[in-house]
Amino acid sequence: MRGAISGAICGMAAVMLLATSCGPKHNTLTEEEIADGWQLLFDGKTLNGWKDFNGDSLTMPWHVVNGCVQAKGDGSDLTGYIVTEKQYENFILDWDWKLSPGGNSGMLYHVVENPYFQVPYVTGPEYQLIDNDGWEAANAPTKLEEWQRCGVDYAMHLPNPDSLDINPQGEWNNSRIVFDNGHVEQWLNGKKIVEFEAWTDDWFARKNSGKWETAPEYGLAHRGVICLQDHGYPASFRNIKIKELPRKPGKVVELFNGKDLHGWEAYGTEKWYVDKDGNLVAESGPDKQYGYLATREYYDDFDLTIEFKQEKNGNSGLFFRSFIEPPVKVHGWQCEIAPKNNDSGGIYESYGRGWLAQIPAEKEDILKPGKWNTMRLRVEGDHVQTWLNGEPMVDLTDAKIGAAQGRIALQIHSGGGIKVLFRNLKLTQL
């Protein structure tokens, strides 16, 4: 009898041990998953492949406990984020998660690492993970806004309440994010709870009217690191796996519709408007400062042609893979559009190294002042090429450009007295 009781006790202990740990069967892939392209982001033993946000190594308060990645709960709004070493563009991301009572965490994606961005959430969308009832009990009488509750696309899209099935606090849940060339789905415990298209008029209306209206680069990146958030509460993750999906190239985009500035955002006080002939006009205003008209979307690999005519001092520029620092500052690279003898077609880095490639002096006569010109800009990976009126101007390879992504923007130079007309802005995504 003693042996039977002892065996029963041992059996119960084994069951309890399995119930309180991640278990040896987790954090692995089946042969079918491996053949289908799935990869583990966590091996169940180490934090290999993860690092601090904007860092080179891992120092944030995360550790591995019983086969789980666990936030120690020491993080804050400005600290506690860990990210994958690798960037991801289109993917299916699966993971299991469990929160402490009142816990608050999140899974972010397409996070851009740059010292200018001090926190991940100003660029990366977040699948919110929070113990709704426990958090409200601990923070009474404060109530969560609907856009803060578990399962939301944080501050953007709410889940379908009929499909929201969260396991009781302390139990494991499974979540999934699908990002497929702008089509986004969020799943919880086998049910789709959120579905939307990124970068549509509706998406931008949400972005520009709520929490993100002062975060101009939020959600624009097409690729970035995956991020786990320690928001001051212990949180556990396991079975974190990802399957990358292919990019769909070849889309032709008319950047300018000839009627209005739909799809563009102006920065500064200089003038941007459409004239009676359907041309996009850049003109100096009374402040005579820099001004920018930027696409609201990111375009990374592309072949772009644009026609321009310099009616006055035509000191302008065509920025690419750039981002905006309000109120009027652009970080990135410029294909020069300038008066004669000022390197139109050359490549200049703003707020950095300056000229990366100037044009030969004998090519200055290719520009036709006061007449329509055609600039072609092709950017693919780290390779940049320009042509002016069909003539090659620059062929440049640069690793820093290759690592970047961002908007296309037109510039008005400071100093006043500038007027440049643009038309036929056609882009093919590569």
DSSP 8-class letter at 109: E
pLDDT (0 to 100) of residue 11:
38
pLDDT (0 to 100) of residue 76:
79
Are residues 18 and 10 in contact, defined by beta-carbon separation less than 8 angstroms? no
- 10 Å CB burial of residue 419 (0-12, 13-18, 19+) is middle
CA-wise closest residue to 123 among 224, 199, 242: 224
Which amino acid, 287?
Answer: D
Looking up tokens 């010292």, which residue turns up?
A: 115
pLDDT digits (tens, 9 = 90+) for 136-182: 999 999 999 999 999 999 999 999 999 999 999 999 999 999 999 99
pLDDT (0 to 100) of residue 75:
74
Got the DSSP string for 46-100? --TTEEETTSSS--SSEEEETTEEEE-S---SSS-EEEEEEEESSEEEEEEEEE-
CA-wise closest residue to 233 among 365, 103, 416: 103
pLDDT digits (tens, 9 = 90+) for 357-391: 999 999 999 999 999 999 999 999 999 999 999 99
pLDDT (0 to 100) of residue 283:
95
Please give the Cα distance from 282 to 86 (Å, whole number).
40
* Positions in the chain short of pLDDT 50: 1-23
Are residues 284 and 392 in contact, defined by beta-carbon separation less than 8 angstroms? no
Torsion of CA 126, 246, 299, 352, to 10 degrees: 80
Are residues 414 and 292 in contact, defined by beta-carbon separation less than 8 angstroms? no
Give the CA angle between residues 126, 132, 137 to the nearest 5°: 140
- 10 Å CB burial of residue 31 (0-12, 13-18, 19+) is exposed
Q: Domains (ranges, CATH) in the chain?
A: 26-244 (2.60.120.560), 252-429 (2.60.120.560)
pTM: 0.90
